[in-house]
Amino acid sequence: IEVAHSPSGIFLSQRKYTLDFLTETAMLGCKPADTPLEPNTHLKGQEGDPVDKGSYQRLVGRLIYLSHTRPDITFAVIMVSQYMHDPHSTHLEAVYRILRYLKSAPGRGILFSKHGHWRVDCFTDADWAGCPDDRRSTSGYCTFVGGNLISWRSKKQSVVVRSSAEAEFRAMAHGICELLWVRGLLQDLGLPTDPPMRLYCDNKSAISIVHNPVRHDRTKHIEIDRHFIKEKMEAGVICIPFVQSGTQLADIFTKGLGFKIFSPFVNKLGMSNIYA
């Protein structure tokens, strides 16, 4: 990981690693792609012809390491990594699509700069039943401290949920766990925070479940998550403002987006290309 200091802040990237990767895969002269995935891409198992498992695993393994400073490829890498045990040609094509996207900006990375506050924010989202193989949803979140992106995650949920609100609700619980961990870390470091921490969600039904104390059969199976979230909210640890889907940054960790949406989200995550 390369670290560059400037008046704008601290910039982290893996430019040399990316260029070496593209050179070794003979993709340095390829036509660049403007996104790591085609919009609304959903990979399936055993699509196309089988490919060499060892080569596929090496490619995906290097992409996983590269995602340490490239949150913009995290969701795409998570998708292709699900088929490392039995890769096929469509999965390999998706991998090369990611490489073509890396060619468009090999020096892109994360910029940490001063924003004049210590607010802790988290954006959470879920793609309901997005996996065609098992119909599980994908949770995604990204966490900011002082306006800088410090953590992000894209992960398939462990159970099949029956509604989009339930998928969003489980994603919110994961986001709150991350917020509590960040708060504990900042306290150990002796750094101030501006309470309450904000958890942004774009699903009004999920937010209503948190605020509504009435218990009924439709929410019984998520009672533990509901009480956990409500407890933290009533204690003033978090607040849950609604955010429009067009400004839900966590969308980039749950689904393939078109360039007109994807590019502004990448910029809002604090990513830039120091070599542009």
User: DSSP readout, 160-221?
Assistant: --SSHHHHHHHHHHHHHHHHHHHHHHHHHTT----SSEEEEBS-HHHHHHHH-----GGGGG
Sheet holding 238-239, edge to edge: 148-156, 138-145, 120-127, 197-200, 238-239
Q: Are 48 and 42 in contact, with CB atoms under 8 Å apart? A: no
What was the pLDDT predicted at 273?
Answer: 82
- List, as one string, the DSSP characters of 19-40: HHHHHHTT-TTSPP-SSSS-TT
Q: How do residues 121-169 score in pLDDT, each as one tens digit?
A: 999 999 988 888 889 999 999 999 999 999 999 999 888 888 888 898 8
What was the pLDDT predicted at 212?
Answer: 75
Of 40-44, 118-122, 196-200, least confident by mean pLDDT is 40-44
What was the pLDDT predicted at 130?
Answer: 84
**Across residues 57-66, what is the average pLDDT?**
96
Q: Are 172 and 240 in contact, with CB atoms under 8 Å apart? A: yes
Residue in the structure block whose two tokens are 């390369």: 2
Q: Based on DSSP, count helices (H) and strands (E) in the chain, helices before strands.
A: 8, 9
Closest of 243, 221, 229, 122 to residue 163, by C-alpha: 221
CA-to-CA separations, 146 to 117, 118, 142, in angstroms, rounded: 5, 4, 13
Domains and CATH numbers, the chain: 2-110 (no CATH), 117-253 (3.30.420.10)
Residue 6: its H or E element: strand 2-6
Of the two residues 217 and 222, the one the predictor is more confident about is: 222
| pLDDT tops 80 at residue 221 | no
Instruction: Give the confidence band of 245 by pLDDT, cuts at 50, 70, 90.
Output: confident
Q: How do residues 175-186 score in pLDDT, each as one tens digit?
A: 999 999 999 999
> How far is the C-alpha of 1 from the C-alpha of 15, rounded, in Å?
8
Characterize 223-240 residue by residue with b for buried, 16 or more Cβ atoms within 10 angstroms of its Cβ, and e for exposed: eebbeebeebbeeebbeb
How many Cα neighbours within 13 Å face the side chain of 149?
A: 25
Dihedral class, residue 44 (left if φ above 0, else alpha if ψ from -120 to 50, else beta): beta
Q: Are 76 and 266 in contact, with CB atoms under 8 Å apart? A: no
- List, as one string, the DSSP characters of 107-138: TEEEEE---S---EEEEEEEETT--TTT---E
Residue 270: its H or E element: none
Of the two residues 256 and 219, the one the predictor is more confident about is: 256
> How far is the C-alpha of 196 from the C-alpha of 198, rounded, in Å?
6
Of the two residues 226 and 71, the one the predictor is more confident about is: 71
| pLDDT tops 80 at residue 170 | yes
In this prediction the pTM is 0.91
> How far is the C-alpha of 135 from the C-alpha of 209, rounded, in Å?
23
Q: How do residues 29-45 score in pLDDT, each as one tens digit?
A: 999 999 999 988 888 88
User: What mean pLDDT is reported for the chain?
Assistant: 90
